[in-house]
Chain A
Amino acid sequence: MEQYDVIVIGGGPAGLAAAISAHENGAKTLLIEREARLGGMLKQCIHDGFGLARFGERLAGPEYVERFIDRFRALGIEAQTRTFVTRVERHEAGFTVVTVNQDGLTRYDTKTLILATGCRERTAKQVSIHGTRPAGVFTAGTAQHFTNLLGVLPTKKCVILGSGDIGLIMARRLTLEGAQVLGVYEAKPTPSGLTRNIHQCLHDYDIPLHLSHTVTRVFGQDRLTGVEIAAVDDDMKPIPGTEQRLACDALIVSVGLIPENELAESLHVPLDPRTNGPVCDGQLMTEVPGVFSCGNALHVNDLVDYVSASGEEAGRNAAHYAQRTRDEIVLGASENFQYLVPQRLDRGADNSAVTVYFRSRDVLGRCRVTLTVDGREVWSKQYPFLRPPEMQQLTLDFGSFGIADAASAQFEIEVEA
């Protein structure tokens, strides 16, 4: 049986960056991808705006990810594509990954595992819409797959539910291809997607955005013929009497992304209910020693540049992994954070450059984010505003905060009056 230092599961931007970084740090590395081609979701994200932070260029999705694929190939890193991981077994020296593909079942032994399995779209069934089950109800990602990979326009006239970024991108994309987008309906009082996407995808094309509205019912037998829209109250419950019927042939849902962690759960990796991803330390190692997490499996990012960066971090740390007992403290975050990653710090690790990612729970004006260690404020930063769709990222030297001897560490957001 083949023995590896690092096995990366998932060949999207996180997994590619993780495998390249593990290999460059001297690890014998294997990447496993279930699709025929590497690149993950970026294969179908043909719009531009990727790589601004990393390359200083506005690249289309395929351009961005193919730079990593080219590098991956040039380094001669092993990859198994069209290969599905069915099971991971944990034992004292590491893990055995069981895969299935056209050649049948294969077992690979590895010291460490990097879970780069990305995220999945929440579907229409998960937002309880009443009515029949006609064709024409798609997630935004499915509509994107049809339009950008298959070259098939999935609608002539549609309604978009949810203001997530993929939904906004698809509103523009479908409009460019000649479809009519009647409107984007968002149950929350504020948009879910990036502000710039509201402007460049909706305002530029005069596509209306209806906040505090939702789709309550779909109509049609074989194919969708219409949807019912209603205003919602502060608890996001439809308000009786506000229903309105719109004729359309498709409903496109963009109602959120959920980190994919079935394999992590099978290994009993504890998840954080705030991120839906694994609880991890400053080295992106989960609570199960030797199992690392990165990219959108760890938490849903809004920029692929951050996904790649977390992949590289996980790859480097997995390559240098040595079994030892961790000495962890909780890295706390007050209630007004939607989440903060990492959730733990290993006091015995090198914490001189730990990347911290966070989102606020609500839209906040001028505020100050602080870090308190053992009751003493050791760091703070001013923000002109914090918005949940726009993730914040910073690198902190926890070593300089005396974290090695600390008993508690807590982040807070203080909103200025």
Chain B
Amino acid sequence: MKELVCIGCPRGCQLKIEKNNRGEWVVTGNTCKRGEAFAISEMTAPKRTICSVVKTAFPETPVLPVRVSADIPKERIFDVMAQLRTVTVTERIGRGDVVIPNVLGLGVDIIATSNILRT
């Protein structure tokens, strides 16, 4: 059995996960479905969201905040960070616009999270 703290929302449920005798994961301590999904994902293929900034060509707004469009494997976080350092935004793109499509072939995009370059 493993104990985890759910990071799905600020409630921070204390989860317990173990396999029953049929080899199925059994999660307790969760107060919603997200907790169960999180615990199973943590045991099999942990994923995280990553948020950061990328450089821009605009002196008054030197960086643009970005995030991944969906969770990525936890062990690839620093690989994605390295990709972000290679980018300079030269267009006045806005919230939701793609900065790097299909980053490292992970099937998720890097998207802008602010209209700061447009205001």
Contacts and interface: CB of A to CB of B under 8 A. Distances in A.
Interface string A288-308: 000000000000001100000
B5 A199 contact: yes
B26 interface: no
Contact of A390 (B12, B48, B62): B12
Contacts of B10: 49, 52, 194, 196, 302-303, 390
A46 B12 contact: no
B9 A149 contact: no
Contacts of B9: 52-53, 196
A60 B51 contact: yes
A91 B8 CA distance: 49
Contact of A176 (B67, B81, B115): B81
Contacts of B78: 176
Contacts of A60: 51, 65, 67, 113-114
Interface in B38-61: 48-53, 55
B8 to A, nearest CB: 8
A390 B48 CA distance: 22
A298 to B, nearest CB: 19
B66 to A, nearest CB: 8
A37 B63 contact: no
Interface string A195-239: 110111000100000000000000000000000000000000000
A62 B48 contact: no
Contact of A63 (B55, B63, B114): B114
Interface of A: 37, 43, 46-49, 52-53, 58-60, 62-63, 66, 147-151, 176-177, 194-196, 198-200, 204, 302-303, 387, 390
Interface of B: 4-12, 48-53, 55, 62-63, 65, 67, 74, 77-78, 81, 95, 113-116, 119
